[in-house]
Amino acid sequence: MGKTSRDKRDIYYRLAKENKWRARSAFKLMQIDDEFQILKGVRRAVDLCAAPGSWSQVLSKRLFEEDKEAKIVAIDLQPMAPIPGVIQLQGDITSVDTANQVIEHFSGDKSDIVICDGAPDVTGIHSLDEFMQAELILAAFNITSHVLRPGGNFLAKIFRSRNSSLLYAQMKRYFKKVYLAKPRSSRQSSCEAFVLCLDYSPPEGFVPTMGRSSLEITDASGVTAEIIDGFVTCGDLSGWDSEKSYPLDIHVSFPRGESTDEDRNRYEFKDVVQPPTDPAYKEALEMKKTGVFSNMNAELQREVRKRAASQDYINSFSSKANPFVARNRKR
């Protein structure tokens, strides 16, 4: 597979590199914002699970265009390359200390919006992946309840499943409006969507806590039958298709590839804008280069051959000891 294959298969990946976004997910936030105007008038914003930083880039671009004094805090367990104007915290979103640091950076005020594009490493076991994603959203909500002002908004990635209605009901207890948004840049074949919660209004007597589990907020009393207020597709339906492969001679600077012959000859492969700063697989790659895995495989193969030889000996002995088994095997 050549290095240009993903540019053909994923037009938004290519667009992200062309427009200096760190990841294609930047288009998802922009399309949701274009539809709901959730960043309009925002002066304080928090980006959870922020690395590599594409959503923080969008916040920086759109908030600072409207208000140069806006403040943005990005949080992630992994280190993240700096973004001008964005305060970065390398910390745990399940820690009260992290929530307190956010409020300190806002000079004691709370955020107007909290966004979270985080997701667990998928296992391929859909029920487990959906559960882990729901737990991550819960963790994001727990810290959100500490740092979000009343009337603020919350946006998080969700994996749609048969149990998603429970999550919608939980969010509906704390927000007046709950929408399910599907950006055009999110593949239609993917169960990914985004739960958008508007107008934070916690129940009377509610006390934020980081220790709340999903079992503790399953009460959906007072929630009407219409759990969500709408499923909304965001983005230009006549624009780029995230499921379609495009030839390299289509110039991405033009809508739907409407370009001249001169434009079509301008394609030039570009590397990603910001590679991972400290990827978890870095150590594994070094081990592979130094032959550690090869040595391990050789030892494993020797052990397998040794055990196979032992099993053959046992089978041979069993056949000699039991003529009936030997006759059946010949058949």
Residue numbers belonging to the annotated binding site for S-adenosyl-L-methionine: 53, 55, 76, 92, 117
Report strand pairing: 71-76 vs 44-48: parallel
DSSP string covering 222-275: T--S--SS-EEEES-TTS--TTS---TTS-TTSGGG---HHHHTT------SS-
CB < 8 Å & 24+ apart, contacts of 234-240: 234/31, 234/32, 234/34, 234/35, 234/36, 234/181, 234/182, 234/183, 234/184, 235/27, 235/31, 235/34, 235/35, 235/183, 235/184, 235/185, 236/184, 237/184, 239/184, 240/11, 240/12, 240/15, 240/184, 240/185
Task: Classify burial at 294, counting beta carbons within 10 Å of its beta carbon; exposed 0-12, middle 13-18, buried 19 or more.
Answer: exposed
* Residue listed under structure tokens 């008038």: 41
Q: Determine the 3-state secondary structure of 188 from DSSP.
A: coil
Catalytically active residues, by annotation: 157
Terminal alpha carbon distance of the chain: 48
- What span, in angstroms and rounded, lies between the C-alpha atoms of 25 and 183? 10
- What span, in angstroms and rounded, lies between the C-alpha atoms of 186 and 153? 21
Report strand pairing: 111-116 vs 175-183: unpaired
